[in-house]
Amino acid sequence: MNQIFTVTGMTCGHCEKAVVQALQQVDPQAQVSIDRAQNRVQVESTQPREALAKAIAEEGYAVGV
């Protein structure tokens, strides 16, 4: 299932890597695409949206669900 999140607070490549790693801890098979300029994170995953949003938030980023 393709899911799109608005994520604010990502300012660098390290931030992107942290988000990807957090999402892949929830779903190791997740395919993640990040557009930092648009504050957009696109995730292809079978996991519930809430679990993915929680993983991003726990890294310290604001998530618009």
Q: Residue 28: pLDDT above 80?
A: yes
**Residues contacting residue 32 through CB under 8 Å, at least 6 positions apart:** 19, 20, 23, 24, 41, 42, 43, 44
Reported as a pLDDT band with limits 50, 70 and 90, residue 65 is: low
Domain total for the chain? 1
Reported as a pLDDT band with limits 50, 70 and 90, residue 10 is: very high
* Residue reference for tokens 């991003």: 56
What would the pLDDT profile of 41-61 be if each residue is shown by its tens digit?
Answer: 999 999 999 999 999 999 999
The CATH number of whichever domain residue 43 belongs to comes to 3.30.70.100
What is the residue range of 17's domain?
2-64
